[in-house]
Amino acid sequence: MKVHNFSAGPCILPPEVLRKASGAVINFDDLNLSLIEISHRSKSFVAVMERAQSLVRELLKVPEGYSILFLQGGASLEFVMVPYNLMKKGGKAAYLDTGTWANKSIKEAKRFGEVDVVASAKDANYSYIPKDYTIPSDANYFHCTSNNTIFGVQMKAFPKTDVSMVCDMSSDIFSKRVDVSDFDLIYAGAQKNMGPAGATLVIVKDEVLGKSGRDIPAYLDYQTHISKDSMFNTPPVFPVYVSMLTLQWLKDNGGVSWIEQVNNKKAELMYNEIDRNPLFKGTAEVEDRSNMNACFLPIEEASQPEFDKMWKEAGISGINGHRSVGGYRASMYNALPLESVRTLVDVMKEFERTKG
């Protein structure tokens, strides 16, 4: 039976990507050597890194003057690297609190200086995105998280500001078009829309670096990694390779504009059923609903075991909600086919029919 993988991350990847990646683990580039046992300095892997960076630049239309890095440590390390590199000594940063990961980034930034939390949705368990807030003009940067996987809310637009803008796009990078020139730094863990866990994409405007006045440890300095082409130390070889394959898959199928249309269709189908079906209710404000993570609750908790049995029998995996929200979370990342969403919707309809 086909498994419909709605996992929140690490996430589903395209089948053809998995086939190519599995082959490369045995014999990469006709070398009769495994991808994971060759030198990262070899001509074959250097070509992989260069191709991955080139695809990022092409797919997101990254302007000149920006560097593209593949690092390690996930978004959690970026919570530290961002203030280390961009918050000046004696300066401050502005943060938007839209959920668990935004909150973690705020806690790390406070180790480096003053943090102005310009708005927070904590009062409603992060079920919405704050809209009316002021970004202080004297902030060294403004940080936001574009999509919240746990609570199922997503920023549909970004504020206009003269302050450097930083965004954690870990869970919706490459899912929709974005104007990179609006940001001075974008970072994203690979394990949602790009590849397996272990690689982190960073897109940074070169001119904002080297101005913090801090003595930054070499590994935590973006300029170190730029100067070494993401190979200051041994890079995460396999995650970078699979990310390259996934980005090539995205390009071959029509790029970000193509997948944005597909993602809109998946989200529309899913939310229409949540709103129509009297046995379920959504958890996020309608205008802020995430196209990546649809969170919903059963009207009657006692009915959950019966619904759980039905979706498991249908070959559906990974829709249990996060413990802080409960209920269900259908994560619809780029590689999840529309067919899988239809399967889940059909189960919800059948559940209504049997319960009704």
Question: Which of 218, 253, 288 is a domain's end point?
Answer: 253
Q: What percentage of the chain exceeds 90 in pLDDT?
A: 96
Which residues are the active-site residues? 101, 168, 192
pLDDT tens column, 28-43: 999 999 999 999 999 9
Question: What's the pLDDT at 89?
Answer: 93
Question: Which of 222, 253, 284 is a domain's end point?
Answer: 253
Is 188 in the same domain as 296? no
Three-class SS of the chain: CCCEECCCCCCCCCHHHHHHHHHHHHCCCCCCCCHHHCCCCCHHHHHHHHHHHHHHHHHCCCCCCEEEEEECCHHHHHHHHHHHHHCCCCCEEEEEECCHHHHHHHHHHCCCCEEEEEEECHHHCCCCCCCCCCCCCCCCCEEEECEECCCCEECCCCCCCCCCEEEECCCCCCCCCCCHHHCCEEEEECCCCCCCCCCEEEEEEHHHCCCCCCCCCHHHCHHHHHHCCCCCCCCCHHHHHHHHHHHHHHHHHCHHHHHHHHHHHHHHHHHHHHHHCCCEEECCCHHHECCCEEEEEECCHHHHHHHHHHHHHCCEECCECCCCCCCEEEECCCCCCHHHHHHHHHHHHHHHHHHC
CATH code assigned at 314: 3.90.1150.10
Q: Is the pLDDT of residue 1 over 80?
A: no
Is 38 in the same domain as 74? yes
Domain membership of residue 321 as a residue range:
254-355
Question: Which of 236, 253, 270 is a domain's end point?
Answer: 253
Is 5 within the bounds of a domain?
Answer: no
Number of alpha carbons in the 13 Å side-chain half-sphere of residue 153: 29
pLDDT tens column, 123-164: 999 999 999 999 999 999 999 999 999 999 999 999 999 999
CATH code assigned at 164: 3.40.640.10
Is 196 in the same domain as 134? yes
Q: Is the pLDDT of residue 102 over 90?
A: yes
Is 232 in the same domain as 331? no
* Residue pair 336/294 in contact by the 8 Å Cβ criterion: no
Is 112 in the same domain as 45? yes
pLDDT tens column, 255-296: 999 999 999 999 999 999 999 999 999 999 999 999 999 999
Is 145 in the same domain as 242? yes
Structure token pair of residue 62: 């990254």
How far apart CA 95 and CA 166 sit, in angstroms, is 9
The total number of structural domains that make up the chain: 2
Is 285 within the bounds of a domain?
Answer: yes
Point out which residues pair with 67 in neighbouring strands: 204
Question: What's the pLDDT at 325?
Answer: 87
Question: What's the pLDDT at 356?
Answer: 66
Point out which residues pair with 310 in neighbouring strands: none
pLDDT tens column, 200-233: 999 999 999 999 999 999 999 999 999 999 999 9
Is 7 within the bounds of a domain?
Answer: no
Is 296 within the bounds of a domain?
Answer: yes
Is 72 within the bounds of a domain?
Answer: yes
In the chain, what is the straight-line distance between the N-terminal and C-terminal CA atoms, in Å?
28
How distant, in Å, are the alpha carbons of 25, 102, 158, 216, 343 from that of 279? 46, 32, 34, 54, 17
> Which residue, 55, 40, 25, 21, is CA-closest to 230?
40
Question: What's the pLDDT at 348?
Answer: 98
Is 277 in the same domain as 260? yes
Q: Tell me the whole-structure pTM to 2 decimals.
A: 0.97
pLDDT band at 324, cuts 50/70/90?
confident
Is 281 in the same domain as 292? yes
pLDDT tens column, 80-93: 999 999 999 999 99
pLDDT band at 2, cuts 50/70/90?
confident
Is 133 in the same domain as 233? yes
Is 263 in the same domain as 155? no
pLDDT band at 176, cuts 50/70/90?
very high
Is 184 in the same domain as 259? no
Question: What's the pLDDT at 31?
Answer: 95
Is 176 within the bounds of a domain?
Answer: yes
CA 256 to centroid of chain Cα atoms: 14
